Structure 1
Amino acid sequence: MNIRSVFYKLEHVKLRTVFFVFVASFTGLIISWTTFVTNNYHDSHDFLALTRLRRLLSGPSPRNVVIIVSNRRSGTTFLGKIFSQKQESFYLFEPLLPYTTECNTLKDERVTTLTKFLDCNFSSVYEDYEKALKITGYSDKYSKCMQHTTCFADKNGALLDDYSQLCGNKQNTLGDEYFDPESEECGYPLKPHLLSELCNSASIVAYKIVRVCSLEMLEPLYRHLTMRGHRVFVIHLLRDPRAVLASRLQLGLDGLNKTTFLKETRSLCERYRTNINYANRMNISEKKEIGSYEENVVTDGRYMRIRYEDFVSDAVGVAYKIYDFMDSDLPPEVESWIRSSQVHSGTLIQQAAQRKDKSLREKATQRLGELVHPFGTTRDPNKVLRKWRWFFTFQYIEIVQQECRDVMKELNYDQFHSYKDLLNFSMPSYH
């Protein structure tokens, strides 16, 4: 080997070294810049794009995964909003709807599907939904899970906004993208690979689930996602069973009527009982360091039980506790939304009557309508907590109190011993 060839090779190594140093420095500079912008300019139109670029350059990173577990008519829609309102989040409303509320139908399949969705894998969403709908015979007429790719897509407004930015939808007069459902390229059905990309770009993935009947069913899901490096949290939301059943009976949900009331009451209370006992059992095994339980969401300290009544009474305070539980700060946009959603009907009626400006008057009237909507998220805390006591006859109350006595005691719900006590609002229903 002559001197010239040696010199050439040395120069080639130098050039490659300089090139790699330059690429590394430039990438670091871009990551620092996008981090600074996304941390300080959350209102930027390009916030989502900058966040996605930062994550792409940084490589795969662990995320917070939140599963809100509860029962129908327990306040999950409102609780879910404290995650969907957060920037840089990915939230789905009832992704397991095709699997129905029948606990023993497609038991393993629903957990498998949920695991894939929480891992941002939507590649088989059509096949999974089609199989579930075929077996359960559930009507997709109103939820439109197959037609839109996500169930009740209109409940995922923040997701649709982010999807529009990613897909490059039409723009309004302000230059902001908006979701066009009729768009051939960026409308319905939502593209699975774009949903996966949005999900992977999020720092927090949260789903509202009322179709997983037991916490124990989540153990394999928890282990899988934890092994993938994600931090998995389960928020277990529980509401007074009397209020839950009163709401279902009033709306005629789940076929609940006078004939089926006792059966449904027993089923609901057994579900409460099973999950409470499981969580308590895991807590005992952790404290005493006994037993052969594998690690799970409870023993790892990733399980949080919340009473609906506490959340409604102090939504901001509970939201702070939830984010602190996840070692995070409550985002200002989430706190702002919570405060705006907590209104009193008397105030809105007064505003609607006194506002001279037609648009302001219509806005106050619209919010008043949202306040009384059974599936809305605008709430008058005082009325929400006692509305069920007006609706229920004492005969129903006695049935629930008898079947759920141990559950109510565990959750500190107080029993009523007469119809007079039920309507005496100076007597609380919980402590």
Structure 2
Amino acid sequence: MESTFKKPVLFFLACLVIASSTILLSRAWTSPCRVAANGYALSRSFVSSGNTTSSHDTGTEAPPQPSVCPTSTPRKHVLFVAKARTGSTFIGELFNQNPNVFYLFEPLRVVPDMVKMDAIPETYSGDMSAELLNSFYHCDFLTYYVYHIPRWYLAVSESNAMQKICKRYKRCTNVSISDLKEECLKYEVMVIKSIRVEDLNYLMPMLQQECFDFKVVLLARDPRAVASSRKYFKYRNRANETLYELGIAKPLNDTTTRLHPDNVHDYCKWLGRNLAVLRNAQSRARRRIVVLRYEDVVANVTQKALELYKIFGSRVTENVLKWIADNTHSDEHVERGSMATKRNSTSTALAWRSDLSMNDVKLVQSACNDVMQTLGYKLIKRESELINTSASLLNPLPLK
């Protein structure tokens, strides 16, 4: 009888263990940002400040905790968040050219691949991106990412640090995960550039972590210039067509036009959404987010580079200054895939004013009115204002 009693008890305990494990796994899966990236243990403060529930939702801010940060100089981490055709590759070069910086070009490109392979559902892309960024900044690299590096040309060609590592190991395919981690840890500054961060809320855990030196640069560009750049990049042979005909912009009351995936409406919604995140962020996170206008950079690249390096607690090297001199005042235009390496930066910033018609400009302004005024971009009403390139269309940046 005793053995008969033990059997259902053991069966019940086994079922309980299985059920508990299932619940724990499902919780970890549904909120991957709260689980350590690659097994990396996150602090209690990191977890509690995630994007799903934060103290700024209630209008109160948690009291400051006593600092327990190490006294040694912390490693610095910088993330440039942008969208396509906003000048992010150009801005990234200001750090890629510094031999003391470990620079990664678009490492989140692997996330859409994961979605396509059904490794994760698309709804988890934001959490997955945050988890990967956290692991990258700790020099813990996803197996698929290391496999991906030599198979995507720009991952290496746009990162001087990766070129150096591949050369050291003879070829990129010889670089193992442990090799990459060892090389990455040698750098005191790590910079990542990405056009695949949709919502800054996903980065709040890293932004709130006291002892993690992390800053985010939200790069903005005049939506009129973005629309023009996308038109001439995507439709070089259809330059005579309007933004409306190409599906890049449409009137706000038009519900029938099929828009191109790179339409300006989505770009401005993205900007507005992330500016709202900045406004609502707690003070520590707010101090760590910098809004940068592309037009302010190209107006004086050297001065802006000095300012950015100062914000990040680092210094500009001769390599950076030489790159600026070689790449910002040339009329030569050399294409490297989708990346332009030689350009007159001021002329590039103003090109849209001769490339777009007044009707195109009105379409973009209609779609982006609020965000343009928030960022200090002047709206224009007549063609004389459009073609008069000596008149600036920039007000001082209201956000600091």
Which 5+ residue runs of structure 2 have no aligned equivalent?
1-71, 116-121, 236-242, 251-258, 396-400
Determine if contact 2:150/2:172 at 8 Å carries over to the other structure. no
Residue identity matched to 2:164 = D
> Residues 248-397 of structure 1: matches in 2 within 5 Å?
248-252=230-234, 258-259=246-247, 261-262=249-250, 263=259, 264-282=263-281, 286=283, 295-296=284-285, 298=286, 301-345=287-331, 368-370=332-334, 375-397=339-361
Q: From the superposition, tell whether residues 152 and 371 of structure 1 become closer, same or farther in structure 2 (CA, over 3 Å).
A: closer
CA–CA distance in structure 2, aligned partners of residues 313 and 374 of structure 1: 23
CA–CA distance in structure 1, aligned partners of residues 393 and 371 of structure 2: 14
| Alignment-derived partner of residue 163 in structure 2 | 160
| Alignment-derived partner of residue 241 in structure 1 | 223
**1:191 pairs with 2:176:** yes
| Alignment-derived partner of residue 134 in structure 2 | 115
CA–CA distance in structure 1, aligned partners of residues 157 and 132 of structure 2: 21
Shift of 1:192: 2.2
Determine if contact 2:206/2:214 at 8 Å carries over to the other structure. no
Residue identity matched to 1:327 = G
Specify the SS of the correspondent of 1:414: coil
> Residues 173-252 of structure 1: matches in 2 within 5 Å?
186-188=171-173, 190-223=175-208, 226=209, 229-252=211-234
Determine if contact 2:146/2:177 at 8 Å carries over to the other structure. no
Residue identity matched to 1:62 = P
CA–CA distance in structure 2, aligned partners of residues 111 and 129 of structure 1: 18
Determine if contact 1:342/1:380 at 8 Å carries over to the other structure. yes
Residue identity matched to 1:335 = L
| Alignment-derived partner of residue 428 in structure 1 | 392
| Alignment-derived partner of residue 44 in structure 1 | none
Residue identity matched to 1:402 = S
Determine if contact 2:333/2:340 at 8 Å carries over to the other structure. no
Specify the SS of the correspondent of 2:340: coil
Residue identity matched to 2:392 = P
Question: Structure 1 vs Structure 2: percent identity of aligned residues?
Answer: 25
CA–CA distance in structure 1, aligned partners of residues 249 and 221 of structure 2: 18
Residue identity matched to 2:368 = C
Shift of 1:372: 10
| Alignment-derived partner of residue 45 in structure 2 | none
Specify the SS of the correspondent of 1:261: coil
Shift of 1:206: 0.5
CA–CA distance in structure 2, aligned partners of residues 302 and 231 of structure 1: 9
CA–CA distance in structure 2, aligned partners of residues 412 and 372 of structure 1: 32
Structure 1, residues 305-326: CA drift from partner, whole Å, max 9, x if none? Answer: 1110010111110111111112
Structure 2-normalised TM-score?
A: 0.67
CA–CA distance in structure 2, aligned partners of residues 388 and 189 of structure 1: 44
Structure 1, residues 169-218: CA drift from partner, whole Å, max 9, x if none? Answer: 3xxxxxxxxxxxxxxxx343642222211111101110101100122111
Shift of 1:377: 3.4
CA–CA distance in structure 2, aligned partners of residues 198 and 372 of structure 1: 27
Determine if contact 2:353/2:387 at 8 Å carries over to the other structure. yes
Larger Rg: 1
CA–CA distance in structure 1, aligned partners of residues 182 and 83 of structure 2: 30
Residue identity matched to 2:167 = S
Residue identity matched to 1:312 = V
> Structure 1 runs of 4+ off > 6 angstroms?
none
| Alignment-derived partner of residue 55 in structure 1 | none
CA–CA distance in structure 1, aligned partners of residues 337 and 167 of structure 2: 28
Structure 1-normalised TM-score?
A: 0.63
Report which stretch shifted further, 382-391 or 151-160. 151-160
> Residues 87-106 of structure 1: matches in 2 within 5 Å?
87-100=99-112, 104=123, 106=125
Shift of 1:110: 1.8
Report which stretch shifted further, 334-343 or 65-74. 334-343
Structure 1, residues 58-98: CA drift from partner, whole Å, max 9, x if none? Answer: xx973110100111111111111121111222111111113
Specify the SS of the correspondent of 1:217: helix
Q: From the superposition, tell whether residues 420 and 61 of structure 1 become closer, same or farther in structure 2 (CA, over 3 Å).
A: closer
Alignment partner of 1:125 out of 116, 119, 143: 143
